[in-house]
Structure 1
């Protein structure tokens, strides 16, 4: 399929499609494979060298664009990026390969052998599933994206990319579905959509597909990637939603239907860091025959203890503050603030811990005096529950004039009062472990 068949009306997208068509020609593909590793500093000189060698300027621009995207894609796809093709938007929205492998593992463990990836984008999830031995039919409605996914799936002869709409996909021979609905506006400046019924396709259509896959009486094995900010009340019943954090950044919320959900679990948080992965669920042990779990209530606020804990964003999004507080024997410092505190120093993959050095009502004058007295000039500034931005506070304090000692300032509310906590981060030993 020629990517030049795109229906996009955006001139930049049309130009990209035309360039991609040149790259997919044998001469263009061969030229792309001969390029050295891309560096921004050398790009202009390399382009000039290629043009002097007689290569068409438009082809040179197209292959350099792919080389640049491959270099950027290595952060998500590792060494595989160097043999892939990308679109700028597709790379931005693609699932990281290690996370895509976790998606695929769910289907494999549920006995799925043939998977439909509906809204496949550049094919990251389809690649991960194919690498685990699943036969994947990757579907997307954009011809340029399908052309890119076709190239990326070439190492997997049992998988293919086709043009089509998710809701009308042919599911004959398919026993599992993965979906990644469009969650951004397509007209005007791109902005994220938070209402799942504004997704394309909407969440209600996804739910209908799960029931269709299950034969109409029950949900079939379906997983769908949602925005991490989705309202928990908007989630379909009898599903499991897992929020995934990657090195401190909440990437996505994955909703699982039928056999690929964990029985008895409604919400979970998967925290992935340099030491591994840790899982926190709303129940300790899943019981497929038992009643639906009742969430652990949020703790009653209390006074600031000797240690402050900042829960990972996935834990907060999943509504598991109460579960984490119970596990840490901690409580909140304010009913509206997701900081936890206790007198014990505890190591947990689900929160960053800080030893409290001092706490004071918020006052620039008082804080300035404290920093000067303790020679605190290297500051990490965090905030929750206050309108003052860290960089604004840093500008007003000009902390480097006070000395070379380091500390963390936490701007927050304690029992409804604007406060500043001066703290030292706990040493981070080891890596996350499952819980």
Structure 2
């Protein structure tokens, strides 16, 4: 944590700063400058005003991940960015609870999001972080949960016999020369490294078997970097791939090395093949329908599983669009009915849109250098009319094409499952 962040948190954690923060109305960006001026005029020191307004802004941003809990929490910028959304943290905690785990260590707890979810499910939680001020932040955030306590320490030094299960969210950024930070891809550059995580699982286990441990990894992790005899589950939240969670020991689904959990309007749906996943499908001609698989499915290497469900194939061996003649509803892919297709040409596409009065466009792309925003500026589609369509730019048999399509109707929401 930088000296600037440390100084700001110290201002907020002081009794006067905490009282001022709690007295503020909900944060509004357009009012922040004027509000700061009024607080300084009222006699509050400038550094305290800046610190509490920053914290108020982070609380407003944090509500997206933590809902109403954010109104009583403390945040750091980096901690909020890496923190798990509370509904997802609850899914992590449920896997421990459903396997009979009653006590959990959250190592590298950050601001305490996963520890909050575990404590809310009545697990006894020890939250550990190596940074003293982060420990102070987590302590504030876990105050409503009497079954949780926070300690200063490191994952490497934690005694795994203290709890029945372990959760880790390794830091996946390192300081950038000068200022800021950069995301790391190599899991051995995580803090702690993935090898240390695997060693903790072995020490937690008995009889040579890994113990119940879960670790949140970056979604871009290569399959060959994953530890043996584990299950890694890629998770997407309303179309955005957020994480790959590696489950060790009894928390791993037997016979499943890779799975995908897709959370969207239809709830939470899990794709977990037993045994080896189906191979990627072979390319073929464009059918009556086109499917865009969810990113978690693609990252998990489960494109063949979805293709089998849809009776579909790819258009090009390097592109993850699927196509077939059946209209199938699945939570693992967005579907489109194909209206027309043409080799890509700006002139030809413009004429087509004008002829069919297509002026309200969703533009999607895979396997092409054309940028949707740039194409929209060149087309100026609003001049053509008020009809709607999706324009999909991609390769078919190696050649650039534009597919004109209409999205399948959305399925109604349903109860989530894990």
Corresponding residue of 2:288: 306
Of residues 170, 173, 176, the one that matches 2:159 is 170
Change (3 A) 1:161 1:434: closer
Corresponding residue of 1:153: 142
Corresponding residue of 2:106: 117
Corresponding residue of 2:242: 251
Structure 2's unaligned 5+ residue stretches are none
Corresponding residue of 1:69: 58
Instruction: Work out the CA distance in 1 between the residues paired with 2:209 and 2:5.
Output: 43
**Per-residue deviation at 1:103?**
0.4
**Per-residue deviation at 1:335?**
1.2
The question of 1:338 aligning with 2:327 is answered no
Q: How many pairs does the alignment contain?
A: 415
Instruction: Work out the CA distance in 1 between the residues paired with 2:49 and 2:181.
Output: 29
Of residues 227, 231, 238, the one that matches 2:222 is 231
Instruction: Work out the CA distance in 2 between the residues paired with 1:222 and 1:19.
Output: 35
Instruction: Work out the CA distance in 1 between the residues paired with 2:207 and 2:193.
Output: 19
**Per-residue deviation at 1:232?**
1.1
Corresponding residue of 2:404: 422
Corresponding residue of 2:83: 94
Q: Pairwise CA RMSD of aligned residues? A: 1.5
Corresponding residue of 1:389: 371
* Conserved 8 A contact 2:363-2:392: yes
Which stretch of structure 1 is more off in the superposition, 253-262 or 136-145?
136-145
Instruction: Work out the CA distance in 2 between the residues paired with 1:146 and 1:327.
Output: 47
- 1:263-412 matched pairs, under 5 angstroms: 263-283=254-274, 293-412=275-394
* Conserved 8 A contact 2:216-2:244: yes
Which stretch of structure 1 is more off in the superposition, 71-80 or 421-430?
421-430
Corresponding residue of 1:53: 42
Post-superposition CA distance 1:342-391 (Å, at most 9, x none): 11111111111101000111111211211121121221111111111111
**Per-residue deviation at 1:434?**
5.7
Structure 1's unaligned 5+ residue stretches are 1-7, 284-292
Which stretch of structure 1 is more off in the superposition, 46-55 or 91-100?
46-55
Of residues 67, 72, 75, the one that matches 1:78 is 67
* Conserved 8 A contact 1:349-1:431: no
**Per-residue deviation at 1:398?**
2.2
Change (3 A) 1:369 1:19: same
**Per-residue deviation at 1:134?**
1.0
Corresponding residue of 2:170: 181
State the secondary structure of the residue aligned to 1:218.
coil
**Per-residue deviation at 1:241?**
0.6
State the secondary structure of the residue aligned to 1:347.
coil
Of residues 188, 192, 210, the one that matches 1:201 is 192
Instruction: Work out the CA distance in 2 between the residues paired with 1:76 and 1:274.
Output: 17
Instruction: Work out the CA distance in 2 between the residues paired with 1:370 and 1:211.
Output: 62
Post-superposition CA distance 1:190-223 (Å, at most 9, x none): 2221111121111111111100111461100000
State the secondary structure of the residue aligned to 2:336.
strand
* Conserved 8 A contact 2:160-2:200: no
Instruction: Work out the CA distance in 1 between the residues paired with 2:118 and 2:182.
Output: 29
Corresponding residue of 2:129: 140
Instruction: Work out the CA distance in 2 between the residues paired with 1:166 and 1:417.
Output: 51
* Conserved 8 A contact 1:221-1:259: yes
State the secondary structure of the residue aligned to 2:199.
helix
Post-superposition CA distance 1:143-169 (Å, at most 9, x none): 221110011111122211222121111
Corresponding residue of 1:287: none
Instruction: Work out the CA distance in 1 between the residues paired with 2:129 and 2:173.
Output: 16
Instruction: Work out the CA distance in 2 between the residues paired with 1:270 and 1:313.
Output: 10
Instruction: Work out the CA distance in 2 between the residues paired with 1:129 and 1:235.
Output: 25
The question of 1:28 aligning with 2:10 is answered no
Of residues 204, 214, 222, the one that matches 1:213 is 204
State the secondary structure of the residue aligned to 1:308.
strand
The question of 1:240 aligning with 2:234 is answered no
The question of 1:262 aligning with 2:244 is answered no
Which stretch of structure 1 is more off in the superposition, 18-27 or 265-274?
18-27
